[in-house]
Structure 1
Amino acid sequence: MSRNESATPRPQLVNWDVAASTAASLTPAGPTMTPADIDRAVGNIRHLAGVSVDHVHAISRLDAARDLRDSELLVVDRASWSRANTQSFRALMEPALDQLAATKPEVLKSASLTLGGTVTGAQLGAILAFLSSKVLGQYDPFAPARNGLGGRLLLVAPNIISVERELNVDPSDFRLWVCLHEQTHRVQFAAAPWLKDHMTSHIGQLTSGLMDQADTLSERLGAAVRNITAPRARPGGAAAAPQGAASDGVPARPGGVLSLLQAPEDKALLSHLTAVMSLLEGHANVVMDGVDGSIVPSVKTIRRRFNARGASRGPLEKLLRQLMGLDAKMRQYNDGAKFVRRVVSQTGMEGFNAVWEAASHLPTEREIHAPDEWIDRMSLRRHG
């Protein structure tokens, strides 16, 4: 390769700056608050996030909760959440792009000419804009290292405040309840320092498969955006079910963005990642629900109103969640919580915590639905 060729910048399949700016411009406005009220709310959320760690430690019995200095906690707005996610997407995709540039430069060149990074960035930004108003918090283990810290916990203040107002619950109680869930994710990755690299490797393999079809990436992202923003109409004016959905509007399989990574050869990888995500979210839900009135006085009211919240969503909101695959994800997380509760009931929390010791201890997707098989594979002693 000539010196000039090696110096040629690699084409961008995704313009990450455009993705972040598009998401920021399309993000719905948050709750109306004065600057002073915002400052107080942010300070309170940050304080309660710190308070929640001791409770996570007491419930999970993971000593990793005693030292979380390898990650950081940020209370952010919706645009900042979107920007942070574009940074993490970029970090996850760059290795696959490097591999593609080295092994199949003709694919990368063709894709860059056909779709353009700006178009794809705008499409990704539209998806992030929708999600930015739904996420209460997120632990991001894949964030680019900053000040020597690898992961970051993002608590999205406008969304937390919007939901607590919608549910008409005590703000401090609700914020602590949310922080219990999100800090549990931070503790999980501290307890299993190998988990980040394990997930990065599997996601990287999926991304490589996606990059092999880079010339259709823009088309597929565009289809996801169009499905989100413009559901088709039936003859006669009724809204049509989205592609891949049953006649009652419930998709037969996760749709939208999730379907971008569902090529047949990726099924084993997707199954494994589904099991891991079910485990992580299910465990966090169990920890969050492990508190009683002595920690969160109005916890029973919060649980009841939060769980009933889905029933009050309008038809458009329900359709968008189906198209994005969010409802399918919630079902996975419920399965994960059932797995955790069954294992803890049979082996105690100490027995369950064997899951954090090695990648080989992670449950398969089958075992998520049949936890006794995981208990037997791990040779854990059953109670009673």
Structure 2
Amino acid sequence: MNLFRAARAVAGSDGDGPVDWTAVGAAAHAATDPGDLSLSPAERDGYADDVADARASIRAAAGVDFDLPETIEVQNRHHWIDANIETFRRLLAPLEGQVTLAPALARTANTGSMAVTLGFLANNVLGQYDPLLLGDGDDDHGLYFVHPNIVAVADALDVDHDRFRRWIAFHEVAHAAEFDSAPWLAPHLESSMEHAVSELAAGRFDRRALDDLNVTMTAVEGYAELVMDRAFDEEYADLREKLDERRGNVGPVSRIIRRLLGIGRKRRQYERGKGFFDAVADERGVAGAAVVWERQENLPTDAELDDPDAWLRRVS
């Protein structure tokens, strides 16, 4: 990790756009320890076995048929940064046409902000299902595990590495189940994100669009939390308790960054979505909860997230 090199990359940002994405990557790399990726044969086999077992268990418990991504990678933090720069660039593309009074100064500030964002996330993401939103349609979706973070968090929580890794695999494979069994979901998220960012780029704040996007992501995260727990083939209560506690216990700097990045909202999505789907599954079983992915109209409304019985009456 070299903070001076990171600052130099940001200061030297160049180009015509509001963000120098090459400098973002260089700065994020320089400021982030990549972490150890020297996997033993048992660890490498463990990831493969966990993903395969998660697919079988989720298909059986949730009653959904889905395929795994062709791209499944165990990464270090630099690999994760590289895999996500293009996603951030595509998401923020509507900002490319923005004109500022001091474009060079704005570009430096934007480049630094994006480098900090990617570096912070690279140090915190455990696993990621990537449906490659806003892509050109030629790329496959992917499944990534950030091994150094999984090891570090397992150590911090004082839990067995293999069991924790397996539980995370169930969560990410649950996301694969959602998107592969609901062909409408990725296009819906794409259009919602493009509209929200375009409105912001035009100086407008579309509260309804952001609320609709939040409701969809609450359903996506909540369902994955449900399946993560109920399809898991080992005891998980201690993992759930410790991980939830970790999500709430962060230092003051991390708390500020998390608030700026909206990660506090993401935690609320986990909690609210899981509460909704737990109630649905208690009434109709885990397979009954999968009805949400049959068509876009089956997504819960904001009010229904707090009233699962109303959703059950509507989709029955």
- TM-score category, normalised to shorter length: 0.7 to 0.9
Letter in 1 for 2:144: L
Tell whether the 8 Å contact from 1:143 to 1:150 is kept in structure 2 after alignment.
no
Aligned to 1:343: 280
Q: Is 2:190 the partner of 1:200? A: yes
In structure 2, list runs of 5 or more residues that go unmatched.
1-14
Matches within 5 A, 1:178-197: 178-197=168-187
Secondary structure, counterpart of 2:129 in structure 1: strand
Letter in 2 for 1:283: Y
Aligned to 2:9: none
Q: Give, in whole Å, the separation in 1 of the partners of 2:251 and 2:190.
A: 36
Aligned to 1:140: 130
Q: 1:18 to 1:283 in 2, by over 3 A?
A: same
Q: Is 2:52 the partner of 1:50? A: yes
Q: Is 2:176 the partner of 1:174? A: no
Q: Give, in whole Å, the separation in 1 of the partners of 2:99 and 2:265.
A: 36
Q: Is 2:34 the partner of 1:17? A: no
Aligned to 1:269: 209
State the Cα deviation string for residues 109-137 of structure 1 (Å, max 9, x = none).
44683545454222201111111111111
Matches within 5 A, 1:300-319: 300-310=237-247, 313-319=250-256
Secondary structure, counterpart of 1:63 in structure 2: coil
Q: Is 2:92 the partner of 1:93? A: yes
148, 167, 179: which one pairs with 1:158?
148
TM-superposed deviation, 1:291: 4.1
Q: Give, in whole Å, the separation in 2 of the partners of 1:146 and 1:68.
A: 20
Q: Give, in whole Å, the separation in 1 of the partners of 2:21 and 2:256.
A: 27
Tell whether the 8 Å contact from 2:134 to 2:190 is kept in structure 1 after alignment.
no
Q: Is 2:227 the partner of 1:287? A: yes
TM-superposed deviation, 1:306: 2.5
Matches within 5 A, 1:66-145: 67-69=67-69, 71-94=70-93, 96=94, 101=97, 108-110=98-100, 113=103, 115-142=105-132
Q: 1:79 to 1:359 in 2, by over 3 A?
A: same
Letter in 1 for 2:31: L
Q: Give, in whole Å, the separation in 2 of the partners of 1:75 and 1:164.
A: 16
Q: 1:306 to 1:352 in 2, by over 3 A?
A: closer
Higher gyration radius (CA)? 1
TM-superposed deviation, 1:44: 2.7
297, 300, 307: which one pairs with 1:360?
297
TM-superposed deviation, 1:315: 4.3
358, 370, 374: which one pairs with 2:311?
374
Instruction: Provide the identity percentage.
Output: 30
Tell whether the 8 Å contact from 1:18 to 1:118 is kept in structure 2 after alignment.
no
Q: Give, in whole Å, the separation in 2 of the partners of 1:311 and 1:127.
A: 19
TM-superposed deviation, 1:181: 0.3
TM-superposed deviation, 1:320: 3.9
Q: Report the TM-score, using the length of structure 1 for normalisation.
A: 0.71
Tell whether the 8 Å contact from 2:65 to 2:181 is kept in structure 1 after alignment.
yes
Q: 1:205 to 1:323 in 2, by over 3 A?
A: closer
Q: Give, in whole Å, the separation in 2 of the partners of 1:114 and 1:319.
A: 26
Matches within 5 A, 1:211-290: 211-213=201-203, 265-290=205-230
Q: Give, in whole Å, the separation in 2 of the partners of 1:320 and 1:14.
A: 20
Q: Is 2:316 the partner of 1:326? A: no
Q: 1:330 to 1:110 in 2, by over 3 A?
A: closer
7, 27, 33: which one pairs with 2:32?
27
Tell whether the 8 Å contact from 1:202 to 1:269 is kept in structure 2 after alignment.
yes
Q: 1:323 to 1:93 in 2, by over 3 A?
A: closer
In structure 1, list runs of 5 or more residues that go unmatched.
1-9, 102-107, 214-262
Letter in 1 for 2:272: D
Q: 1:42 to 1:121 in 2, by over 3 A?
A: farther
Letter in 2 for 1:335: R
Tell whether the 8 Å contact from 1:76 to 1:155 is kept in structure 2 after alignment.
yes
Secondary structure, counterpart of 1:288 in structure 2: helix
For these two proteins, the number of residue pairs brought into alignment is 302
Q: Report the TM-score, using the length of structure 2 for normalisation.
A: 0.84
